[in-house]
Amino acid sequence: MQRVGFILKVKEDKIEEYRKHHDHVWPEMLEALREAGWHNYSLFMREDGLLFGYVETPDFEKALARMAETEVNKRWQDFMAPYFEGIGGQHADESMVPLEQVFYLE
């Protein structure tokens, strides 16, 4: 199982809206994530909007690709795109660059 961490940046003026949308993620989006192999998926955010994501999956690239094939992911990514800065017109899921794991305590 791969453990993957990544960082994105939520626009400071959109932080509260972003939080509210994640209080009620669309059920079909949650189902698609599970079916695509996303496990223990968590998002953590600092007050300035720096977002740290963590997911466990057998294959991160395959999990991303499987989500990219779904209609609900396209809708969600289009909906969420205005909340992020520094993604250069891409969707957030296209900007998830895995961080290097430097330590893991089993």
CA distance 65 to 6: 16
User: For residue 53, what are the β-bridge partners?
Assistant: 6, 43
39 in active site: no
Given the residues 21, 22, 24, 91, select the one marked as catalytic. Answer: 22
Element (H, E) at 7: strand 2-10
Cα Rg of the chain, angstroms: 14
The residues carrying an active-site annotation are: 22
